[in-house]
Amino acid sequence: MHRLLLLGCLWLLTTPPTSSIFQRPTGTPAPPRLQYLLEPLHSTVHTQRGATATLPCVLRALPHNYRVKWSKVEPANYRESIIIITNGLYHKNYGPLSPRVHLRHSHRYDASLTITDVALEDEGRYRCQLVNGLEDESVSLTLHLEGVVFPYQPSNGRYKFNYHEAKRACEQQDSRLATYQQLYKAWTEGLDWCNAGWILDGTVHYPIINSREPCGGRLLLPGVRTYGARDKQKDRFDAFCFTSALQGQVYFIRGHLNFKEAGQACRNHGAAIAKVGQLYSAWKFSQLDRCDGGWLADGSVRYPITTPRQRCGGLPDPGVRSFGFPSKEMRTYGTYCFVG
């Protein structure tokens, strides 16, 4: 018995890798091999708003009469927008990214794309394509911004935005509509919200951690629940906005101020009354923690909590708490200001 086991082990050790037990299953095509472009070590580049990010694209050889074309896949319409084209000697920039992009070109094989002053809308999938007649090949990379997703609704109640109004509302609050990937990541990190909201691709979702009756019932499992694609003009929901790091500071001014006085108090300090996205960013990236409700630019009153405690709302999780949209004449709150 022992002799048979020993012979079996020796056979496995000495059988060459070309034996059928190591071969690729029949009918499974081998992935195409890149001849000129190197596979990037990491397909995702992590960054924050305001930073400089480089998407790697390096050639192993320079074919004759080649061009390298960089483009971005736009999630709102699934189209590719050309960013830059180069033949190794000359290049031309295209589109809204044009003023903020250049080729790193640290050596003659380097066609990596550098984006300066990264903006919220820069997040997404990019493609570096070698154009060389019949031997075209490409690599895809993802630019990922570290940030925070927050639900947003206007002062007149929930489900008031069509898609275009939701998009504009997020932009007015120093943010943009979140992508599905951003919303899903926020759900995995604890975002639990009953109201459905638009996201960037025109679909509508809501993230649930704790299943409950008002949010689809107790029998449904937790998850990002979806209403699918909706009519961007007629259908009305809330919005899920996404923001990233600030190039500035949010701070609190104590007082009993109405909304107009709150804005003037910030201006007196050479600042502006903070937007909702700026408060969320300060909470997420600067660990801003205050129990004091303060006016924001949209007329809402909120306060950021990073260390939950009983006297600050009593909720067990960190977050930006909201008093909603009180009368702008109330002299009950201070104000949150932003200085860039």
Delineate the domains of the chain, giving CATH numbers in brackets: 37-145 (2.60.40.10), 148-243 (3.10.100.10), 245-339 (3.10.100.10)
Which pLDDT score, from 0 to 100, does residue 63 have? Answer: 87
Which pLDDT score, from 0 to 100, does residue 32 have? Answer: 61
The set of residues, in sequence order, having a beta carbon less than 8 Å from that of 301 and lying 6+ positions away, is: 293, 294, 295, 322, 323, 324, 325, 326, 333
265 vs 171, 193, 199, 304, CA distance in Å? Answer: 24, 33, 35, 20
Which pLDDT score, from 0 to 100, does residue 202 have? Answer: 95
User: Tokens at residue 193, please?
Assistant: 């919200």
Nearest CA to 147 among 190, 194, 185, 201?
A: 185
Which pLDDT score, from 0 to 100, does residue 119 have? Answer: 96
What are the 10-residue block averages of pLDDT along the chain, 340 residues in total? 37 33 46 82 95 96 91 79 92 94 94 97 94 85 96 96 98 97 96 96 95 86 94 98 96 97 98 98 97 97 96 90 97 97
